[in-house]
């Protein structure tokens, strides 16, 4: 296969996971410049593409090229445009720090620090708690449990704890891992009879940062191993920091004894940011990324992206990429055009009819099945997904949602939403499908 053949087939793999809008804006401008011995050099237009892909889909390119070429692939990026010397110096400093920590088995994003975390009413308590833990790990607030919705800054905060602690004590032993990664390691250790090595790795450290703990719901062996790991670290006065998308009492299918461990220290929540905080976040991010964004554009984006900070920052990076590629300054018209598939348009509210149509088309069922009394698996799951999305994307009451699905009662809608929420928490492929459906509905 030629380089072009490999990349075109890889794009098809990527499109199945991210959808057409994302593939067109972020991946088609990329090309495969070199490929030898399962090592790929990817040429990207500018650093905005590199930042966005690494922040949102860090493994997707390697996985796609690996599927096409039949083996694991190591990816390196080459930026086509000339980079501002100040930006290049900062990027090199961050990359040096990342590599230095990675050589010790510590995988922390060096961009996530307390210094560039924007504080507002919605997150000031969680920020203060995280700072206190970083000042005296293992002494107070152990464990620290931070929860909040997707993209509100939980990962930033717990990573900032790790970076701050390492700045003070460079030789400290730290593990940052997602609950999914921990689960995969438990499964692998059991399969290969290496539980001793896993225990040695996780129980002989000074600081454990575990992201998205809700992922271990329904995973009995993972919960058992984490319970004993938690106890060992706690008894040794080693700091434990946990994040979740919900408070301990709302995490389904975990043991009571583990739930009680989550609640032993301090629980801090992060709420969706208010308008002023979102504008401040955009302005701080624009300073870091050297993107000039007029104040009116910042307020426009902040008013349209309702809660998700990650999505808000993604909008800024998109605009930076577009401005860099076209040589045109960022303005409101550019924002409306480039971000039409992402930002919420108050003039085009989402309806249940629209949701039902998109979901029915995705699952290749009749639109009428959404309101029918059929309970077959082929119909039940799409109907539950459509109910869940109606709750998420419209302002309708549960009773009104039920009426739009053939007169179902509100208890049926509640059950459907719970089923989908739990599956999203434990099934990453299913979660990405839901995200793609949301993009189609909003597009």
State pLDDT tens for residues 324-358: 878 899 999 999 888 876 665 555 678 999 999 99
What percent of the chain lies above the pLDDT cut of 70? 94
Residues 259 and 280 in one domain: no
Q: What is the mean pLDDT of the chain?
A: 88
What's the CATH code of the domain at 297? 1.10.8.60
pLDDT for 253 equals: 86
Residue at which a domain ends, from 49, 80, 111: 80
Whether residues 266 and 129 share a domain: the answer is: yes
CATH code, domain carrying 49: 3.30.300.180
Reported as a single tens digit per residue, the pLDDT across 236-281 is: 999 999 999 899 988 888 999 999 999 999 999 999 888 899 999 9
For residue 23, tell me if it sits in a domain: yes
> Is 282 found in the same domain as 266?
no
- Give me the pLDDT at residue 85, please: 62
Considering the domain boundaries, does residue 76 fall inside one?
Answer: yes
Kindly report the backbone phi and psi dihedral angles of residue 266, in degrees, each rounded to the nearest multiple of 5, phi listed first.
Answer: -115, 135
Domain final residue, candidates 248, 270, 292: 270
224 has pLDDT over 80: yes
For the chain, the straight-line distance linking the first and the last C-alpha, in angstroms and rounded, comes to 35
pLDDT score at 81: 59
Q: 132 and 239, same structural domain?
A: yes
Q: Which range has the top average pLDDT, 136-150, 229-243, 300-314?
A: 229-243
Quick: pLDDT tens for 349-382: 789 999 999 999 988 889 998 988 877 878 899 9
Domain contains 227: yes
Looking at the domain assignment, is residue 408 inside a domain? yes
**Strand duo 39-44 + 239-244: pairing:** unpaired
Indicate if 223 and 327 belong to the same structural domain.
no
pLDDT over 80 at 141, yes or no: yes
Contact (Cβ atoms closer than 8 angstroms) between residue 353 and residue 382: no
Residues 374 and 290 in one domain: no
Percentage above 90 pLDDT, the chain: 53
Please give the tally of structural domains in the chain: 4
Tokens 């996780």 correspond to what residue?
A: 202
Predicted pLDDT of residue 22: 75
Does 286 lie in the same domain as 214? no
Q: Write out the DSSP string of 41-95.
A: EEEESSHHHHHHHHHH-TTHHHHHHHHHHTS--EEEEEE-SPPPHHHHHHHHHHH
How far apart CA 244 and CA 268 sit, in angstroms, is 11
Better pLDDT: 393 or 289: 393
**217 located within any domain:** yes
Say what the pLDDT of residue 87 is: 56
Report whether 343 contacts 305 (CB < 8 A): yes
Full domain range(s) for residue 306: 275-338
Same domain, 283 and 418: no
Lowest mean pLDDT of 93-97, 134-138, 418-422, name the range: 93-97
Dist. CA 254–CA 257, nearest whole Å: 8
CA contacts within 13 A on the Cβ side of 277: 20
Name the nearest CA neighbour of 350 among 423, 250, 441.
441
Residue ending a domain, choose from 237, 270, 303: 270
Asked, for residue 115, whether it belongs to a domain, the answer is no
Q: Are residues 155 and 190 in the same domain?
A: yes
Whether 182 shows a pLDDT value over 80: the answer reads yes
Asked if the model's pLDDT at residue 282 lies above 70, the reply is: yes
E strands in 262-369:
266-270
Judge whether 36 lies within some domain.
yes
Same domain, 305 and 236: no
- The answer to whether 163 and 112 are in contact (CB under 8 A) is yes
CB-based contacts of 33: which residues, under 8 Å, 6+ apart?
Answer: 3, 41, 42, 43, 78
- pTM (whole model) above 0.85: no
Q: Is residue 29 part of a domain?
A: yes
Task: Let me know whether 263 and 150 are in one domain.
Answer: yes
Let me know whether 190 and 315 are in one domain. no
Q: Where are the alpha helices (DSSP H) in 114-153?
A: 124-135
List the CATH number of the domain containing 389. 1.10.1750.10
- Sorted by sequence, the CB contacts under 8 Å of residue 128 that are 6+ apart come out as none
């Amino acid at each position: 296969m030629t380089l072009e053949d490999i990349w075109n087939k890889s794009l098809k793999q990527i499109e199945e996971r991210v959808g057409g809008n994302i593939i067109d804006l972020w991946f088609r401008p990329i090309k495969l410049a070199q490929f030898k011995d399962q090592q790929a050099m990817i040429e990207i237009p500018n650093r905005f593409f590199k930042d966005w892909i690494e922040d949102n889909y860090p493994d997707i390119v390697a996985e796609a090229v690996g599927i096409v070429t039949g083996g694991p692939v190591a990816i390196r990026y080459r930026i086509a445009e000339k980079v501002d010397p100040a930006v290049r110096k900062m990027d090199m400093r961050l990359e040096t720090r990342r590599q230095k920590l990675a050589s010790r088995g510590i995988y922390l994003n060096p961009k996530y620090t307390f210094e560039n975390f924007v504080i507002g009413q919605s997150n000031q308590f969680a920020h203060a708690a995280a700072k206190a833990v970083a000042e005296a790990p293992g002494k107070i607030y152990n464990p620290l449990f931070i929860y909040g919705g997707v993209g509100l800054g939980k990962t930033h905060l717990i990573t900032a704890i790790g970076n701050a602690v390492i700045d003070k004590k460079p030789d400290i032993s730290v593990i940052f891992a997602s609950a999914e990664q921990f689960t995969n390691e438990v499964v692998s250790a059991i399969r290969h009879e290496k539980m001793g090595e896993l225990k040695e790795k996780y129980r002989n450290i000074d600081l454990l940062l575990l992201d998205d703990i809700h992922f271990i719901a329904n995973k009995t062996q993972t919960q058992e191993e984490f319970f004993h790991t938690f106890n060992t670290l706690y008894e040794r006065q080693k700091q434990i920091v946990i994040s979740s998308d919900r408070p301990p009492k709302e995490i389904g299918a975990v043991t009571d004894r583990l739930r009680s461990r989550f609640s032993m220290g301090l629980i801090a929540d992060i709420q969706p940011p208010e308008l002023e905080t979102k504008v401040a976040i955009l302005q701080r991010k624009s300073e870091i990324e050297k993107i000039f964004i007029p104040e009116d554009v910042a307020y426009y984006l902040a008013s349209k992206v309702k809660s998700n900070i990650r999505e808000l920052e993604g909008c800024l990076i998109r605009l930076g990429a577009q401005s860099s590629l076209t040589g045109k300054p960022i303005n409101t018209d550019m924002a409306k055009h480039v971000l039409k598939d992402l930002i919420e348009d108050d003039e085009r509210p989402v309806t249940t009819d629209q949701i039902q149509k998109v979901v029915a088309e995705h699952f290749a069922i009749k639109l009428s099945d959404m309101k029918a009394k059929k309970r077959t698996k082929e119909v039940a799951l799409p109907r539950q997904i459509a109910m869940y999305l109606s709750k998420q994307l419209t302002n309708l009451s549960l009773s009104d949602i039920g009426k739009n699905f053939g007169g179902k009662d509100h208890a049926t809608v509640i059950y459907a939403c719970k089923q989908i929420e739990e599956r999203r928490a434990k099934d990453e492929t299913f979660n990405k499908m839901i995200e793609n459906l949301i993009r189609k509905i909003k597009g």
